[in-house]
Structure 1
Amino acid sequence: MKPMTPWPYPCWIAHRGAGQLAPENTLAAFRLGARHGYRMFECDAKLSADGVAFLLHDATLERTTNGQGQAGDQPWAALARLDAGSWHSGPYAGEPLPTLQDLARFCLRQGHALNIEIKPTPGQESLTGRLVAEQAARWWAEQAASQPEQPTPLPPLLTSFQVAALAAAQAAAPALPRGLLLHEFWDGWQEAAQALGCTALVCHHPLWTQERIAQAHEQGWRALAYTVNQAERAQQLLDWGLDCVITDRVDQLGP
């Protein structure tokens, strides 16, 4: 049995800010999640054509903005002008896409923890992993240095489904904790998680059983589950020893 690293993160993580109550991956969503008592957030980060890390889940723009086409093909100046709120509801019309640095500043200012999912445009896995890790490490180090009398901010947890992205993040900022995202248990996932120096496994919640959570802990990995939106399932997973629940239902579950 391998010892687990200390795990100072909150048990409850707000998915993409406030799940479905506000337009996902916008600052409005993270502010709303905080108003519901959440102190840790999950976001999706990718790169613009000119290398700016920004928040968006999909590879394309149509679902959550008024833009069109591959998001990573556009420069940040064009992406910054998009409306990322009207698709959700009228009160959020005009809400912009935030940069990852915008969200980092919000979390560091408020003392919130952050799970950054590295969500690269296809073909940019290594570049995205490297730049996101380098920038996140720098921002958190600058915050700690600027306020030495304050508690050191919790480092961001970097996660991804893409092994190449996590490998690049590991090389760029080895001190930042990493987690492998799994929608299924594919051949070789355990060896990959070990080689990546992962501290966590972040699994689609139906994958977790009590036995699998115990096995993860035996290997030194923390067990996280996405996206858990039913109270009964969340309680079952926590009773089995799950470390963190990622949820959309910030209005009904968690703090």
Structure 2
Amino acid sequence: MGYYISVQPNVNLYVEDVNPQGCKTIVFIHGWPASHRMFEYQFNQFPCRGYRCVGIDVRGFGNSDKPWEGYDYDRLADDIRCVMEAMGLEDVTLGGHSTGGAIAIRYMARHKGYGVSKLALFAAAAPSLIQRPYFPYGLPAEAVENIIQETLTDRPKMLRGFSEMFFFQYITQPFSDWFFQMGLQAAGWATAAVANSWLDEEKLFSDLAEIHVPTLILHGHHDRVCLFPLAIAQNEGIRNSRLVPFKYSGHGLLYDQRDKFNQELIEFIEA
């Protein structure tokens, strides 16, 4: 079941709600520059276990509206709150991949975990995707600046290059094309604006300490986008968190080790 939820005047987010009668609810926030469709191989399986899966397309991406403004983490977290309230969601597991993980962290801090009983972070872009003087573990800022410049001049080329960084395991050309098309569905200005947020955002460091629910951290050892030390920093900064390294995965751990990913998440939800 898919429908739109208003989060601001003239701004509506697309939400996919699979198995609304499920016993437990998982809310998925996708990574940059994809959509809720990136969780296809969770949506195929989790409802079979009785779970309700709610996938949100972040503004500017997927089927959601694509306004010119509103791509900072505060606004993106506020959008999630609007969805949670509109759908009456409570006692959910909130899961976010990459930038979606960063948005989930900001949501937990800014909205005091409203409606969330557990948090799951998948290759999350936190506490900082880029290197900073006090945090040398991210990407060079120049790498992100290049992504932004390529987005504004040759976005298809940028997306192809990004997909080459995304996976560690072999993927077929048709699968690569499918992933590429998800990125093309986003607005170019939204793609660049969210990437620019990676450069500006520093509050995630303090946000980690504001998380007070059980937290699962899944992260690939071979991640070339959100490097593995980010997961260690998350684990150190979030009380009651558990880090599960994925030895044979890159940034796309939910594809690289799909079965392990699904099983770890299911065990966390059922615990």
TM-score past 0.5 threshold: no
Normalised by the size of structure 2, how large is the TM-score?
Answer: 0.34
Normalised by the size of structure 1, how large is the TM-score?
Answer: 0.35
